[in-house]
Chains A and B, each alone.
Chain A
Amino acid sequence: MQAIPGHLRLATSDLRRRPLRTSLCVLGVALSTTLLLGTVSLHSGYVRALDSTIERMGYQVLVTAKGCPYEAASLVMRGGNVPMYIDETTFDTILDNPDVLEATRLFMQGMEAGDANRLMVFMGVDERFRSLKPWMTLQRGSWFSGDTSEEAILGYNAASILGLNVGDRLSVGPAHRPVTIHGVFDRSGTQDDGMIFLPLPFAQELFDRQGKLTGVGVRLKSLDRVQPFLEKMFNLPSVQAITMTQFRSTVVQFVATSRILLMLSALVASLIGALGVLNAMTMSVSERLREFGLMKAVGASAGDLFGLTLLETGCLGLLGAVLGTVMTALGGWVLESALRQVVPFVPPGRLIAVDAVSVGGAMVAALLLAVVAGLYPASRAARVRPAAILRQTA
C-alpha cells in the first residue's frame, strides 16, 4: 500500500468507467446521510429553538383554566384562541402569594384583521408584561397612553405583514373598531413578533370578555418554590398551573418519539444504501476479476487489492456523505414541515441546525457504511487466484 495518488486514481478509475452505477450508488448513500443528518440536526435544532422560546416567555409557570394543560400551554405559546377563561380575581390571589416575583395577565384572541383579512393574534397586556419581558423594547412609537385607550402596538413581523406604521389605523374585533398604531416592537425572535398588542381592559371589552383572562404568566422569586406554588394553584377551583419545564419535557418527549420514527427510516435508508454499495461493488469486482488477477501477477498482494477495493467504496461513501450534507442543508425544510404536522408545539425559526459535529458524525457514518458494505467485495478481490484467472485468455 502506498502512493495514495496512484492508488486513488486506480481506485476511482472504475467509478469513472461506470458513471450511472456510481451515481446511483452515491445517491443511495446521500439519501441515507440526509435522513441521518436531518434527524440528528432536527433534534438539536428543535430543542435549541424550544429552549430559547421558553426562555423568552419570561415566566416559569402558566396558570390557565382547567383542561389539558399542555394544549393550553402550546396554544398560549403559539398564539391562538383559547376558548377557556379564568376569572381576573385569580390574578390578585396569585399576586398575593409570597413566592411570586412578578405576574402578568394574558388575554389572547385570534381574529382576522387588516385589509387582507389575515388571521392575527391579539394579545391584551398590562404594564407588567414589559417587566417580565424586558427585551420587548419599542422600535418606534411608545407604550399605550392609557388602560382603555383604543391603541395597538404591533410585533415586528405583524407590522410588516400588515404594512402598518405608527399613526396608521386598523379596525379590530368583531365590531371592527378602529385603533391607532401607537408603537412597533423590536424583533424578539419569538411568537410575540407576530402579535397585535392591545391594552388589557380594552381587549377584554373589544371581545366582550370583561373580567376574563386566558391565563396568568408567573415568575417566581426562586425556582425552589415551584412545588409549593403549584400546590396552592391546585387548591384553587377551575384553575390549573403548568411549569414551562414540564411543558418542555413533554414536548421534547414528543419530538423524541417522532425522532425515533425518523431514526428508524434513516436506518432503513442506510441499510438500502449499504446494500446498493454492496451490490454495485460486488458486480464491479466480479467484472474485473481478470484485472485483479493481472494486478496480482505484476506484484499486488492480497492486502493491496483489499485496500484498493475498500478505497473505492470509501470514495463512494465520501461522495455520498458530501452530497447528503448539501442535500440536508438545502432540503431540511421538508423534514421541518413534516415535524410541524406531528408535534403539538413547534418554535419559530430554523429547526434543523446542521453543525460541524453532526456533519462530521454523518461523514463518519456514511464512510463506515460504505466500508462495511465494501468488506465482502474487497475480500473477493483479495482472494483472486491469478493463475486460474489468467488462464482464461480472451
Chain B
Amino acid sequence: MVEIRGLKKSYPLAAETVEALRGVSLVLRAGEMVALVGSSGSGKTTLLNLLGCLDRPTDGVILLEGQEVQALGEHRLAEVRRRQVGIVFQDAALIPTITALENVGLPFSFDRWSGERAEIPAQMLSLVGLADKGGRYPEELSGGERQRVAIARALVYRPSLLLADEPTGNLDSENGRRIFALFRELVAKHRIAALVATHNKDLAGMADRSVHLRDGRLVDGGDR
C-alpha cells in the first residue's frame, strides 16, 4: 500500500514560485490501478516524479509500504527507486546501445545481489509478450513493443508501486488499449499499486478508479 499526505511541491523561479502541488492526499491499494487525469499543467508529472522518488516534495509525507521516503538520503533513495518503484515514461526511454533483454535487466546492473536473478528479465519479457524479441535493439522494435519492454523493466524487481506518465501518449488508440489492458492484468496478478497518468478518458475508464487533479489539488477521488 502507498499513501501520500498533504503533498506539496513548489518550483521557485526567478520571478515567481510555481505551486505545482498544493496539498495532495491519496491512498493506493495493492492490486489497484488508478488513473490520474487532469488538464495539462495540473501537476500530474510532478506528482508521479515525487512518488517515484525522482524529486523531493516541498512538504508532505510519502509512505511506501509503511516507510517514509521523502527524507531518505540519496543512496537509500536510489535503492527505493530500484526495488520498490517501477516507472514507465511517455516515450519508452530505453538505452539504445543494449538489447531489449538487457534493458529489462538494467535495474539489476545497479544491484550487488542480482547474480541469482539472471533468468527474471527473460520471464518479464515473455510476460509482456516479447519472449522472442529479447535480442533486438530498441530501434528494431515498434513503439508499442518498446513500451512493453519498458513495462517489463518497470516490473523486473516486483515493485510495490507502478507509475506511468502517459504511457500511451505516443501510441495509436488500439495499441494504447492493449498497453492499458496489460497494466490492469499485471497489476491485479502481482498485487501492485499503480498510478497511471493519462489524458485519454476512454483509457482512464479502464482503470479501477480515477483521481482528478486540477491546479495542484485533487478535486475528485482523493482521500480526505
Contacts and interface: CB of A to CB of B under 8 A. Distances in A.
Interface of A: 1-3, 6-7, 9-10, 13-14, 16-17, 290-291, 294-304, 385-387, 390-391, 393-394
A11 B213 CA distance: 41
A3 B87 CA distance: 23
Contact of A301 (B55, B75, B97, B114): B75
A9 B78 contact: no
Nearest to A15: B97
Say whether chain A's binding surface is mostly helix, strand, loop, or mixed.
Answer: helix
B34 to A, nearest CB: 20
Contacts of A1: 110, 112
Contacts of B157: 299
Nearest to A394: B91
Given A13-B97, A296-B78, A2 B112 contact: yes
A231 B121 CA distance: 87
B74 interface: yes
B93 A9 contact: no
A10 B96 CA distance: 11
Contacts of B112: 1-2
Interface stretch (B35-43, B101-109, B187-195): B101-109
Contacts of B49: 387, 390
A390 B112 CA distance: 26
A369 B85 CA distance: 39
A297 B52 contact: yes
Contacts of B107: 298-299
A298 B81 CA distance: 6
B82 interface: yes
A96 B98 CA distance: 85
Contacts of B115: 3
Given A13-B98, A299-B82, A387 B108 contact: no
Interface of B: 45, 49, 52, 54-55, 74-75, 78-79, 81-83, 87, 89-91, 93, 95-98, 102, 105-115, 153-154, 157
Nearest to A303: B75
Given A2-B112, A295-B106, A393 B97 contact: no
B62 to A, nearest CB: 14
Most chain A CB within a 10 A radius of its CB, from B105, B106, B108, B109: B109
Contact of B54 (A6, A290, A301, A390): A390
B95 A301 contact: no
Contacts of B113: 2
A14 B95 CA distance: 10
Nearest to B89: A390
Contact of A9 (B55, B89, B102, B111): B102
Nearest to B81: A299
Given A298-B87, A299-B82, A301-B75, A17 B111 contact: no
B157 to A, nearest CB: 8
Given A298-B106, A301-B110, A390-B89, 6 more contacts: A6-B108, A9-B102, A10-B95, A17-B96, A17-B97, A298-B154
B97 A16 contact: yes
28 contacts: A2-B110, A2-B111, A2-B114, A3-B109, A6-B105, A6-B108, A6-B114, A10-B95, A13-B98, A14-B97, A290-B93, A291-B96, A294-B89, A295-B110, A296-B54, A297-B52, A297-B54, A299-B78, A299-B82, A299-B157, A301-B78, A301-B79, A302-B78, A304-B110, A386-B55, A390-B49, A393-B89, A394-B91
